A and B are shown apart, each in its own frame.
Chain A
Amino acid sequence: MLVDRVLADVRAELRKQVRRPAHWLLLGVAVVLTLTFAYVIPYLGYTGRSGERSRGLESMLPAELVGNTIAGTPVFVGALALIFGVLVVGGEYGWQTWKTVLAQGSPRLRVFAAKVVVTTLGSLVLVLALLATGAAAGLGVALLQGAPITWPSLPALLVGAGGGWLITTMWAMAGVLLAVALRGVALPIGLGLVWLLAVQNLLSAVAAPLVDWIASLQKVLPGPNAGSLVSALGAPSGTPGVSEVVGAGQGAVVVACYLVVFTVVGGFLLWRRDIE
């Protein structure tokens, strides 16, 4: 019975989110950016005059699919996932639809659980779309250059997709938490992006080399852990956010812990506070 009601709430959320044009725009941007920076630009570099300085053909072939497509999740794909998470929850504040939904009698935590499920599914769609993009692009490069077509093994694909999914879901849930905490859309997106795109970078590139305790702090922050995880899964070093501060196992555990904490704190705040 409870399961039925939760499923009904999930279906309501799915309908709501699937039809929202903004989400599809985000997905499109993620695909275009990945395609551009993981394939188009390296390919132009390889075939152009500066070919000798390029990363070489191998990095674009289907064998490198996993690393190439999840390399963006610690930073720019993560940023898009965070915006997605903010929109899933923050829209209810922006349009004042919380009262409309909750007046139908669904307990807050049940609606929140449905939002968590939909956010998780949305993150999976994002990662799968990027993998499909990478597969198509890699295949295209191989055919154009007459290179051998070798696909990653199924376990490598699954682990890679799982790692990317874990990281994007963690960022999306950070967005969910920010939306609940700040009860809106604009400020959560702004602050989330400042953290993801600016502060994180400053900490790792500028502060960590100068101050010892900041260097140690890197080991417990979500971004560097996500970066270490994708690095172990084959992401090319040199991609923004890809790092090697911790091992793959620790990276996965820390990212999963953040995911759990963001979810629990978000749910608690929503349950606890008044809906104005």
Chain B
Amino acid sequence: MGVMSEPVETTALTKRYGDLVAVDELDLTVRQGEVYGFLGPNGAGKTTTLRMLLGLIRPSSGSVRLYGVRGTAALAGVGALIEGPAFYPYLSGRDNLRVLARHAGAGTARVAEVLDVVDLTERGRDRYSTYSLGMKQRLGLAAALLKDPGLLILDEPTNGLDPAGMADIRATVRRLADEGRTVLLSSHLLGEVQQICDRVGMISRGSLVAELAVADLGTRGLRVVADPLTEARTLLTSLVGHGRVEVDGDALRVDVPADRAAALNAELVHSGLAVRELRPAEVDLEQRFLELTGGGSRAR
């Protein structure tokens, strides 16, 4: 494993089903140690992408590298839960994990540990078919942890759970990330990504339409209140370019990265304007999401 190899790196990854392009020349990079949110509406191509990462489906073109390695050899340090948990209904939760531990080449001693991580030790002897959806989902997470992987790939791990179940899974994922694991988590819930992710990539119709730090997710540009407002507007327009400054009530909205705030403030003050407020402008999250993903799901 080279120094430069990221946990996940896809190059022009594409999957076509006939005329439908489910994943379209996707370049996705997940960096060591981050929790990457893969956000998109239904049918955007999230599951298809994650299945390609795991080698379950073949890309039509493009390539996948996990820790710089191609093919199933790359899965050694990867744990995954794809599109809902799936286990043998006639086996207990624990026996399911024992079977999978053998397939994984992990010791069966690990089974008790992962059951404990997801809080299923008490029900481990019960048949999988008797589990509630929340327990099934937690068992899925446990299975993903069998190899003690450095990279976790989780496809909508809170799908179908009640609020308590969701909070539970999110807390577990956050804890696993804090232990130093890299996490790639897909979701169609903006709030969820905001709660547990560091960085988010938004996918729509198979393409990445935006990628940003979660800290910047709820903001766009700067909100400036200065006296006199018209002079501030003229000055800012000359500094950041035409069309990037808008009047928004008694304030200005400046479409620049938040890290230019200090520089702009200095310019405004330098020109003798009274700056009363200058901060990242909040945007309506749902609105932003719909904007970036092109108005939600396609007609399917």
Contact = CB atoms under 8 A, between A and B. Distances in A.
B108 to A, nearest CB: 10
Contacts of B147: 104-105
A137 B163 CA distance: 62
B218 interface: no
Contact of A275 (B56, B79, B104): B56
A55 interface: no
Interface residues of A, number: 29
A130 B4 CA distance: 61
Given A8-B103, A8-B105, A100 B56 contact: no
Contacts of A276: 57
B95 A97 contact: no
A15 B55 CA distance: 25
Given A15-B95, A105-B75, A8 B86 contact: no
A275 B95 contact: no
Interface stretch (A16-24, A43-51, A190-198, A221-229): A16-24
B100 interface: yes
Contacts of A216: none
Nearest to B83: A99
A104 B72 contact: no
Interface string B63-81: 0000000001001101111
A16 B88 contact: yes
Q: Which size bracket describes the interface of B in this complex? A: 35 or more
A104 B85 CA distance: 14
A103 B144 contact: yes
Nearest to B149: A105
Contacts of A20: 88, 90
Interface in A1-33: 5, 8-9, 11-12, 15-16, 19-21
Given A8-B102, A9-B103, A103 B82 contact: yes
A145 interface: no
B72 A100 contact: no
A99 B51 CA distance: 9
Nearest to B86: A96
A167 B20 CA distance: 45
B58 interface: yes
B261 to A, nearest CB: 44
Nearest to A12: B102
Contacts of B51: 99, 274-275
Contacts of B72: 105-108
| 9 nearest CB pairs, A to B | A12-B102, A105-B75, A104-B104, A274-B57, A96-B86, A103-B80, A275-B56, A104-B103, A107-B72
Interface of A: 5, 8-9, 11-12, 15-16, 19-21, 91, 95-108, 111, 274-276
29 contacts: A8-B102, A12-B100, A12-B103, A16-B91, A16-B99, A19-B91, A19-B95, A20-B90, A95-B87, A95-B89, A99-B56, A99-B82, A100-B85, A100-B140, A101-B100, A103-B54, A103-B82, A103-B144, A104-B75, A104-B100, A104-B143, A104-B146, A105-B75, A105-B76, A105-B78, A105-B104, A105-B105, A275-B51, A275-B56
Given A99-B56, A274-B57, A276-B57, 15 more contacts: A12-B103, A16-B91, A16-B99, A19-B90, A95-B86, A99-B54, A99-B82, A100-B143, A101-B103, A103-B79, A103-B82, A104-B104, A105-B76, A105-B147, A274-B56
